[in-house]
Structure 1
């Protein structure tokens, strides 16, 4: 087992070096007016080090928008990302932070619209059959209802910030299958949940492309770091409960941040 740990440490060192390369300050960063929108994944729930002034939105100083802003010193930075947010919340509440002078926008949204939280609860508490049924319902919603919601939101973002670069970040697979977990939900349920992430990311990517936005796919970055891997960047069921199935501080800094930085 010791050689495996040595290799893992070397890989982590390499990842940190690569992440550092991504954090080189862009030449025009001083002219960037950056607004971060979205849900708990954008707010940084699970990363700890929360801004107490953000209240129930639970914005973390370890979230990828905060980390990018800290490393690159844009002219202005505002994060209005909020735990539990749906597309309608971004449209009706968060979008007021965006205006015609905004030059960079990041967004992670759609998981709550599709019913992510309640489905995970079903999968944990009610067994494989109920989990598969809940996942199928979520996938149907993502394929049939979510595109219209995203199209409406993306059009509103473009209307408020005609010249902004908009980067839409997706969601990772939650589980390595088969992985090292001996307990918990079945591999069948884990596979179904990962499949739902693929469906959701596919819908988000298509809507982003239609709007002329950049879709930043984080699934490859999290590969080998899912729940049940030997180097997890995601919380499993944990306390506080709202951090469950969210990226850890490493998931934000080594997963989301490099992908976002590379997409700009």
Structure 2
């Protein structure tokens, strides 16, 4: 992607303020509330035609698959919102559902929930419309495959995006968010990621304890910003100097998740690599939305198809 021209003036700031305010408003509610109803329109970025994961594994068609995770796993804003409580924003076209259909699992349980943190794997989570039971309750000794995508909310994903969008208008060509989170010489976001490592490890061990013979697949997070350059301010209201910092922060989060998966007997599924070139800055074909009222900075239907393909590829025949 070519480096964008940086104008000498600050005219984009006014447009960015409006986008930042809209994004901040969308992120005021917990991510668990972002789902909307099952009648929501299809997420922009590409037409979802109902395709399932491209690989079939007949040897797994009598097995049990359990999906765990946060809003990235739940598929908030993607029709149709299914299951209870409705506030979890669980889509029947999220990557877990596509994988289950494509592979042909006999039993599939999806307990993913928007806003989930690692603590919600072992404790009930209150959302709009009710309470989502502790997600690990769904994992039993006869579980064959588990997918897990967690950690983003533990480091404050929604707060980070909202804060960085808000301050970008004041210094669109600088790095106000980077300065804010590294004030005093300590990178607060790096510290949050390091502090989350033990929590992710504990969840993976909890899965293994409950399902000793299961294949555990731990996903990272797809690319939100382009893999190089200074982003696409003001389309995505992140200051140009902050784009490299936020990109590196996401890569650090994914690296931590990969490390904890490997150290605790699980397989890491890279969804960042396949999503490069499909970030929120792309006009078409993107996996992740930008300032979108129903799915702000979350994967759309195309992104879930891509993640489903990555999961299916990580399930070779035994």
TM-score range, shorter chain: 0.7 to 0.9
Matched position secondary structure for 1:163: coil
Map 1:74-113; keep pairs closer than 5 Å: 74-92=105-123, 93-113=134-154
Find out whether 1:159 has 2:209 as its counterpart: yes
TM-score normalized with structure 2 length: 0.72
- Say yes or no: does 1:115 pair with 2:168: no
Structure 1 moving runs of 4+ over 6 Å: none
Q: Are 1:132 and 1:192, in contact at CA under 8 Å, matched by a contact in 2?
A: no
Q: Distance in 1 between matches of 2:293 and 2:282?
A: 20
Aligned partners of 1:104, 1:222: CA distance in 2, in Å? 23
SS at match of 2:263: helix
- Map 1:125-136; keep pairs closer than 5 Å: 125-127=166-168, 128-134=175-181, 136=187
Preserved CA contact (<8 Å) 1:46 1:247: no
Matches within 5 A, 1:142-181: 142-143=193-194, 145-176=195-226, 177-178=229-230, 181=233
Provide the residue aligned with 1:5 in structure 2: none
Question: Could you say which residue in structure 2 is the equivalent of 1:43?
Answer: 74
Offset, 1:69: 1.0
For 1:47-78, what per-residue CA distance to the aligned partner results, in whole angstroms no more than 9, with x for missing partners? 33211644110001110001111222212100
Q: Is the 8 A contact 1:31 1:74 kept in 2?
A: yes
Unaligned 5+ runs, structure 2:
1-45, 124-133, 169-174
Q: Distance in 2 between matches of 1:45 and 1:131?
A: 28
Report the Cα distance in structure 2 between the residues aligned to 1:35 and 1:67, rounded to whole angstroms: 13
Q: Is the 8 A contact 2:77 2:89 kept in 1?
A: no
Which residue is equivalent to 1:252?
304
Q: Which is higher, the Rg of structure 1 or of structure 2?
A: 2
Give the stretch that moved more between structures: 80-89 or 70-79.
70-79
Equivalences for residues 167-206 of structure 1 within 5 A: 167-176=217-226, 177-178=229-230, 181-183=233-235, 184-206=237-259
* Aligned partner of 1:229 among 282, 286, 291: 282
Q: Tell me the SS of whatever aligns to 1:28.
A: helix
The answer (yes or no) to whether the contact 1:59–1:82 under 8 Å persists in 2 is yes
Shift, 1:236, TM fit? 0.6
Q: Which has the higher helix share?
A: 1
Indicate if the aligned counterparts of 1:24 and 1:72 stay in contact, CA closer than 8 A: yes
Whole-Å Cα distance in 1 between the matches of residues 87 and 254 of structure 2? Answer: 26
